[in-house]
Structure 1
């Protein structure tokens, strides 16, 4: 019954043209309890998805950035309670913002619309990240609120964390994440990276052609450049990368994110100390002592009386969610190759069949 309800829910998403494809997994730290792969990675080519298919993961990357900061805390290289400008002298937002403020989106740093912050795959070798972001920081150099006064989501804040990782380690952000997180997971190099290592297995991103949001897209991106032809009821995206890796650059298979969460579920994870893992999933309180709904990059929630920590990732052509239930030692993921621009908490619809009061 449980399996049929989950399958039926996902089949309807595809049959009702809500997504070209979907992948879902529910698992423990060492066992896959449910795995679903449905639909097309390429509608025109009639290519079906499988466990090796990769998707743009967008803001799920932020959980890797936060994990990297805590790894450096484990090594004594970063104190998250110290001001950012002790590590980055060029930090433009003052001396009172701490590393933890950045991690919990309470620094007050602006969040200009990021949908246009992308470049085509064919432009990647010549893309200059620093030249792109310097004018963005210059234009958004004033904070919107005092440190820890309130939650305000900021991609720029996580861009700063990426720069901090580079400053402290002397490596590029991408190299640090690859060496210290990705390569510690039992996955192959094609499963998870900051580029589509194997274009043959990468899902094409799609946006519903007959939709109001399709009209709005033209205000944010050059559709003639970034979008391809119409395929059925969908308009395809040309392969592209996010300009800022630390807030949204990862591309990977759903299976690779399962391995990532399974490693975080382990009592002695190779990724992080138990002390800092507890900190990773500790909900932040603002200056008034009010819960903000966010831990160190992970959002908190509850399903059927069970606490979970989650993050969504979405943008043009893709939407995904990852989730970890630390108290019952389980996790889940879902990936779509259709546009998603807000945290839908779609996993609530599926995980509920496994999660009891």
Structure 2
């Protein structure tokens, strides 16, 4: 590997970032990927983390891994065989294409560190493990750590209201810092902070989850207010420097030539995404880093160097909603399971780049994938989140188990009839414009069907009131009135985004 690399890159425009951390909106059909009919193109992110084509891709990874291991010579140790299996995953990229960098950490030590493809195709600069990539929404994990540092030092409390620090936010007396960290504050998105100040909360804080970049921009402002430093200066002094991270920072014009160039797939091959700094993404997505630096970040977090051990446990614990159910977010990280193993992770998606940091705390195992290939349109290389899962399976497959299939229940025709009708979706204007303002539910034979501007699909009953959109991460929960009638439904996308709708017909 080369010790240094040079590259060029760009950020996406803010509106793209604001939709970027939504995940999972393709479904797999036997012969091809198609966009899910219930989700607007603005949200369709090529299987990030949890869904759709991931199942088929996981199968392919398993087969590739199996073939590699069978063909390995007796001279190969297990990690060498696994490294070959990882190489197979990156066969679609070469010295004529952009690519990615990877680090795999087990028991605190690096077991794989490698880069693939080019940081700058035109200039002929290869990716290395020192290459700097835009992190996009992985930035949020650093913002959350900074907030928790300030809490450890007694300078703030995450159960303080926003109004204590941001007096210009009208609803700040209703929203706690904890709500911002866990995306449960009811804040709008797809707009600037100044615009958000003029909008009412979308729901009572703590009652729902709604991924909000605005919330993390507010946390950045709070870091500055409490510390008396800029967001960038605070991170450099309190996170990057203590962790020894010399290749990380806030993206700006002066850093463009020191990082990879971002690329987008097209019918004519990979196209440069241009060169603009990601500064506007601020505390929600403006950082760059390398896989080598992110290894240091991971070690510093676990060692107690950045936050107290008990604080890190809070960070990695799912938030408790007002009604007692667990949310999908901890404090800055998503909390879930991958084939039976607890996974703490966060991904990022910004034009020309996509990223994933996935931790398996019980196995003391971490995978980090940084790619300078955008997630949309679909290209030959799986996205970073899918790659991280494939790599985890290569190393942890013997500890994993197939997820049990969700049991589908058969409901009486009279129950299905309760849900038939047309519902108006309550969502940001960008969602309504692209996905449609209404959702129509019909009862056809023994099936319940849902249809929007994006298309039509079957709804599978998991219980009397909860339905799964077939082949999709979208769930619908019908809400009964006291008289038993159904006039409201809640759409949930893997618990990350929730949109209510009310009956109009």
TM-score, structure 1 normalization? 0.81
Number of the residue aligned with 1:195: 251
Deviation at 1:51? 1.8
8 Å contact 2:264–2:271 — kept in the other structure? Answer: yes
Match of 2:40 in 1: none
**Partner SS state of residue 152, structure 1:** coil
* Deviation for aligned residue 1:239: 3.5
Residues 355, 384 of structure 2: 8 Å contact kept: no
Q: How does 1:159-174 map to 2 (within 5 A)?
A: 159-174=217-232
Q: 1:280 aligns with which of 315, 328, 340?
A: 315
TM-score (ref. length: structure 2): 0.58
Q: Give the drift of 1:285.
A: 2.1
Partner in structure 1 of residue 346 of structure 2: 311
Distance in 2 between residues matched to 1:50 and 1:134, nearest whole Å: 36
The equivalent of 1:233 in structure 2 is 270
8 Å Cα contact 1:258-1:332 kept in structure 2? no
Partner of 1:142: 200
Please give the per-residue CA displacement for 1:19-51, whole angstroms capped at 9, x wherever unaligned. Answer: 721111111354111122110111112221112
1:32 aligns with 2:110: yes
**How much does 1:195 deviate?**
2.9
**CA shift at 1:134, angstroms?**
5.4
Distance 1:143 1:270, change over 3 A: same
Indicate the residue corresponding to 1:185 in structure 2.
243
Is residue 8 from structure 1 mapped to residue 88 from structure 2 by the alignment?
yes
* Aligned-partner SS, 2:307: coil
Q: In structure 1, list runs of 5 or more residues that go unmatched.
A: 114-132, 211-229
CA offsets 1:170-216 (integer angstroms, 9 cap, x no match): 1111111111001011232xx10113666554110011123xxxxxx
**Residue equivalent to 1:45:** 123
Relative to structure 1, the CA distance from residue 41 to residue 78 in structure 2 (aligned partners, 3 Å threshold; closer, same or farther) is: same
Q: 1:136: Cα distance to partner?
A: 3.0
Q: Counterparts of 2:216 and 2:256 in 1: how far apart (Å)?
A: 27
**How far apart in 1 are the matches of 2:301 and 2:145?**
10
SS of 2:202's equivalent in the other structure is coil
**Contact kept? 1:265, 1:330, Cα under 8 Å:** no
| C-alpha contact 2:133 2:260 (8 A) present in aligned 1 | yes
CA contact (8 A) 1:204 1:239 kept: no
SS class of match (2:166): coil
Q: Secondary structure at the match of 2:358?
A: strand
> Contact 1:101–1:107 (CA<8 Å) still a contact in 2?
yes
In structure 2, the residue matched to 1:117 is none
C-alpha distance in 1, partners of 2:168/2:126? 48
Deviation (angstroms), 1:343: 8.4
Give me the whole-angstrom Cα distance separating, in 1, the residues matched to 2:207 and 2:333.
19
Shift in Å, 1:54: 0.6
Which residue does the alignment assign to 1:251? 288
Within 5 Å, give how 1:117-136 maps onto structure 2: 133=192, 135-136=194-195
Query: Would the aligned equivalents of 1:307 and 1:327 in 2 still touch at CA under 8 Å?
Result: yes
Distance 1:68 1:295 in 2: 15
Structure 2 partner of 1:294: 329
Q: Quote the offset at 1:103 in angstroms.
A: 0.4
Q: What's the offset of the Cα at 1:60? A: 0.6
Cα distance in 2 for partners of 1:257, 1:314 equals 17
Distance of aligned partners of 1:259 and 1:315 in 2 relative to their CA distance in 1, 3 Å threshold: same
Paired residue for 1:320, among 320, 337, 355? Answer: 355
Q: How many residue pairs are counted as aligned between the two chains?
A: 310
Rounded Cα–Cα distance in structure 2 between residues aligned with 1:285 and 1:102: 14
Return the alpha-carbon distance in structure 1 between the equivalents of residues 386 and 86 of structure 2.
Answer: 15
| 1:28/1:206 CA distance change after superposition, 3 Å | same
Query: Is it true that 1:352 corresponds to 2:404 in the alignment?
Result: no
CA-to-partner distance for each residue in 1:140-175, whole Å, 9 max, x for gaps?
x22111111111000000011111111111111111
